[in-house]
Each structure stands twice: as structure tokens, then as C-alpha cells.
Amino acid sequence: MPKNNTILEVTNLNAAYGQSKVIFDINLNVKLNERVAIVGRNGAGKTTMLKCIAGLLKASSGSVIYDGMEIMGKAPFEVAKMGLKYIDQDKEVFLDLTVRENLQLSSYATGDYNWDRVFEHFPKLKILLDRKGAYLSGGERQMLMIGRAILGDPKVLLIDEPTEGLAPSIVNDLVTTFHDLSKDSAIIIVGQNLSFVSRVAQRIYAVKEGRMIAEIRDKEEIKEATYSRYL
Amino acid sequence: MKRLFNNNLSKILIIFTILYLLKYVLPQSFMLEVIILSIYTMGCSFLIGRVGFVSFGQPAYLAIGAYGTAFYLYYFGTNPFVAILVGILLGLIINIITGAFFIRLNSSYYTLCNQAFCVVNFFIFQKALVKYTHGDNGLWFLSRIDPTPVIDLSRTEGVFIFAFLVAVGVWLLFNYLMNHSVFGATCLCVKCNEEKLRFLGYNVFNIKWLAFIIANTITSLAGALYSLYFGFVSAGITAPSKAIEPVAISMLGGAGTLFGPLVGSFIFIGLKDIASQVISYWELLVGLMLIIVMLAGEKGIVGSLEGFLSKLINKHGNNEGLQATNIEGEVGSE
């Protein structure tokens, strides 16, 4: 069991695209079943941060401890297999594959064929099983992406801009879904939709120009979204 | 009827029965060339259509299989089955090694690296190993092939039956890989978005490597069959100028489709054998046809026809089909 229930601990993380440094000495930690948000303006380095944690980008220095183990330098598929899943912001599923096949892919990789948990959160996917990814709406794709990710019982879900391009009613549903999902996994959301973030997150990190400038724990401040002053 | 045409195994059975019967109408040598060329193209088509690897180096893999078979029959033994096995094994070993490096490259770099590999192979077989390969004069070993029981590979008839059975096996294998295996699905995902596949926990390198090995070993198998059929191999088999052929045939028939390589090969050999008797620049017709097929939807002949036929079958299908459409309609309206 990790110390203090901390499932993910990032220390002094630095990353660069070529010569251009993008994130500077990032420190963050997430506890089991916690819902954490990272907020910041476009280009603040939020996505880069998630990608470094997931192993998709090579960080120049720092440490990422997941479930008591150093995962820095591990291949993204190894990180995913360990139970740290990344959900991209582009809402792209495998377009040529049906919903069923998309889920099967995830099941095969994780050995978890229990889709009831997926349907419990997203009952609509059960109806859409034979529909190809190309014919799904943005909301349905988001459901499928999260559904795929929760197979294999991940301990941490990294979700990049989950509400981007979604209708308000679907965003409302996602609030409930993320609350439910956090019973099994810690969730880190990157987002600019502050009203959504305020309804989901228990703790917020504000990022500006690649630097972590504030950690907001105050419930009132989160609820009222007054942390926007940091952005 | 609809169910019959939706089942790929039935399609394979029907198409290969027709193919076998065609040898009584068309020259056997023509049909044999079509079969071997389609096996050759199958690997290339799979890599282009399912993995996203376009290679202008396929003659290299073909030549490795062909020379493996030829070396055995010319220098070591006389059993054609063993010779084919040697060709396949040599192809497999080379593919395992080259694949581990080549698949690290993306798009055009992969394409050009394969072309370079083809040029290197051409030089090796034509110049560097001329003492053993006899360069452009080639190795002649037809008279060294022993008759074999059941299927006599020392006769063209036997080679035809063997190549036909091999082709059926190859199509069953690719039908399984493309339509019924997780591996096939992951290959398609590599082509669409390999990063997404990594998020799910897949080792993309291994998937690409395995696809490369399977596809190019099938190409080496085609090389072994060519070698056996002609009883002769020269450095010309790996000429870089021929590198476009499997790519063009794949595109013409429909890259990544199950039957595209067969249709493409049939048209290609048909034009080469028939049109070349009328006009000397038969490649011009292939080029024009390729442009038209590409402009018609980039799916090749089979890809375009499949869409058209499935629409036709659905339109005239039974009530079950209509019911299925209605259900889908309901879901869509939600």
C-alpha cells in the first residue's frame, strides 16, 4: 500500500519540446479515489504534463511514482497495463471498429471481460454495441473512451479535456459519472471548463506558463470557481 | 443469399472453385501466374491496407524466398518440398531481422528504406554473390527437381495444384487475421492511431513487427513458388524497377481487402498477357486503370464493388435485413 494513500506522486517534473522547455518543476500528488483537476489556459502545459505521466512524452527530468513504483521512462503500454490509463482529448475512437470491437480490444489487453461495469456507467453503449466508431456522436465516443479505459480496473484515470465539444446535458451526465468512477479509481482531469471542474474536483492545481502556481483545497473556493484568478 | 455473401468462408470457397475451374478455360500457365502473383501481393496488400506500411521493396522479400529454394535445389538437394521450406525459412529469418529495424520507421522513410533494401538485394544477387547466383544468367535447376508422390512438383500440373492449395491456405489465414482475430483489429488500429493503442496497453512495436514478419514471409513463400514453377531464378527477380508492381496491384484490387490481391493480379496478368499482344505499352493501361480506380474512391476494385454489392444485397434482402435496418434506425434517432 502506498504511503498516506497516495497513488500517484510527481516530483520536479520537467519537459521540453526540443530546445523549448514546456513544464518546470511540477509537483503533484493524488490519493486513492481522489478527484483532482489541473486547470490553466491554452498552452499552459497541462496536456504535456499528463502525457509525461502516461509515458507518451519523455520528460527531461523528475520522478513519477505510481502505486509505490517509479514509472518514469516506462513505455506507455507498460504504464497502461499497470493501471494508469490516459484518455485523450480528441474524442477519437477506432473508427473502423464497432463499439463491441473497441471494448474487446481493451478487454484483450487487460484480461478484463466484465463489461457490466462499463454498461453500469454507460448503458447507452449496450445498445450501440454493433455500431462503428465512425458513426458515434462526440458524447458517445467519450463514453466509449472512458468505457474502454475502465476495463482492467485502473487505479488512476488521466482524462484530458473531457467536456470539449460536448453538449451541456452530456457534460452534466459526466459529472455524475466521474463521481461514480472515483469510487474505484483516482481521477485527474485537465480542463478549461471551470463550472465542470468545480462540480467534479475535490482539489485543483492551477498551472500557468508551465509552472504549478497554486493548489486549491478550499471547498468554497472550488465551488465558487474563484480560483480563476490564478489563470 | 445475404448470409451466404456475408460469410467470408463461403466467398473463399466460391471464388477459389471458380479460379480452379478457370484453368479449363484459360491457359494453366496464366492461372498459375495469377495465383502466385496474388500470394505475392497479399502480403503487400495487408501491410498497406491494414497496417499502413507502403513498401517499394517487396521484390527483395520475394527474391529471398526464391533464392532460398533455388540454392537448395541447385547446390544441395532435389526434394522440392524441402526446397520450398528452405525458401520460407530463409525469408522468415531475414524478415525477423530486417523487420526489427524497418518498422521503427514511419511512412515515407519506411517506404524508401524498403526500396533501398531492394536495391541492396539486387546488387548482392547480381554482383556480390555472382559466383553462387550466376548474376543475370541465373540458376537453372528444373531438371534437378525430383518427382514427388501425391502432388508431383516436377510437373506444372502438380505445381498448379500445390500453389492453388497454398493460396487457399493463405486466404484462410488472412481471413482469420483480418476478420476474426484481435491481432487483425490491432493492426487496423495501428494504421488509424497507434498512440491510442498504446493507451489501451498494447505493445505497438510487437504488433507491427509480427505483421511485417507474417506479410513478408508470405511474400517469400510466393518467391519459393515462382522459383519452383520456372525452375530458374536470376537477379532480375529483385530488380528495383519491379517494386511498383505489388503496390499497384494492391491498390488496383483494393489494399487491405481479402480478395483485392486476386482481382488485381488477374487484371495485371491479363493485361500483360493479352493487351501486350495488341499494344506494346500495356503498362499504360494499368496506369490509366489505376488512376480511374483511385479517383473512384481509393478503395480499389474490390473495395468499391463490396460497398455497391452490400447496398444491393441489403436493398433486395429479406425481411430480416429490413428489420435490422429499422432497429438501427431507431437507435440512430435516440
Rounded to an integer, the average pLDDT of B186-199 is 88
Residue B264: closest CA among B290, B226, B244, B241: B290
Q: What is the pLDDT of residue B1?
A: 45
Distances (CA, A) of A169 to A139, B27, B326: 10, 67, 27
Residue A160, SS3 per DSSP: strand
Q: Looking at CA atoms only, how far is residue A130 from chain B in angstroms?
A: 9
Which of the four pLDDT bands, split at 50, 70 and 90, describes residue B306?
A: confident
Per residue in A125-156, pLDDT (tens digit) is 999 999 999 999 988 999 999 999 999 999 99
Q: Report the chain A residue with the minimal C-alpha distance to residue B328.
A: A131
Q: What is the pLDDT of residue B324?
A: 36
Per residue in A74-117, pLDDT (tens digit) is 999 999 999 999 998 887 888 888 999 999 999 998 889 999 98
Which of the four pLDDT bands, split at 50, 70 and 90, describes residue A223?
A: confident
Which residues lie across from A215 on neighbouring strands? A205
Q: What is the CA radius of gyration of chain A?
A: 17
DSSP of A65-106, one letter per residue? EETTEE-TT--HHHHHHHTEEEE-SS----TTSBHHHHHHHH
What ipTM does this complex have? 0.77
Q: Looking at CA atoms only, how far is residue A211 from chain B in angstroms?
A: 26
Give the percent of chain A with pLDDT over 90: 59
DSSP of A27-38, one letter per residue? EEEEETT-EEEE
Q: Is A77–B204 a contact, with Cβ atoms under 8 angstroms apart?
A: yes
Q: What is the pLDDT of residue B273?
A: 84
Q: How many CA atoms lie within 13 Å of B170's alpha carbon, on the beta-carbon side? A: 31
- Across the A:B interface, residue pairs with CB atoms under 8 Å apart total 69
Q: Looking at CA atoms only, how far is residue B58 from chain A in angstroms?
A: 27
Residue B2 pLDDT greater than 70, yes or no = no
Topology of the domain covering B2-325: ABC transporter involved in vitamin B12 uptake, BtuC (1.10.3470)
Instruction: Please tell me which of the candidates A88, A94, A105 has its beta carbon nearest to residue B182.
Output: A105
Domains of chain A: residue spans and CATH: 3-230 (3.40.50.300)
Do B100 and B85 form a contact (C-beta atoms < 8 A)? no
Q: Is A94–B189 a contact, with Cβ atoms under 8 angstroms apart?
A: yes
Residue B334 touches partner A, C-beta closer than 8 Å: yes
Q: Is A75–B198 a contact, with Cβ atoms under 8 angstroms apart?
A: yes
The whole-angstrom separation of Cα B262 and Cα B305 is 14
Instruction: Please tell me which of the candidates A81, A96, A152 has its beta carbon nearest to residue B188.
Output: A96
Per residue in A12-48, pLDDT (tens digit) is 999 998 888 899 999 999 999 999 999 998 888 999 9
Quote the crossing angle between the two packed helices B282-295 and B260-270, to the nearest 10°: 150
Rounded to an integer, the average pLDDT of B147-156 is 91
Residues 6+ apart with CB under 8 A from B76: none
A78, A84, A96: best to mutate for the B interface, most B CBs within 10 A: A96
Q: In chain B, which residue ranges form alpha helices assigned H by DSSP?
A: 2-6, 8-21, 28-46, 58-71, 80-102, 107-123, 130-133, 156-179, 182-199, 204-230, 244-253, 260-270, 276-278, 282-295, 300-315, 319-333
Residue B149 touches partner A, C-beta closer than 8 Å: no
Q: What is the pLDDT of residue B322?
A: 37
Residue B316 pLDDT greater than 80, yes or no = no
Q: What is the pLDDT of residue B5?
A: 47
Which residues lie across from B17 on neighbouring strands? none
Q: What is the pLDDT of residue B334?
A: 29
Residue A57: closest CA among A16, A9, A12, A93: A16
Q: Which triple of cell numbers denotes residue A13?
A: 517534473
Residue A88 touches partner B, C-beta closer than 8 Å: yes
Q: Please state the domain extents for chain B.
A: 2-325
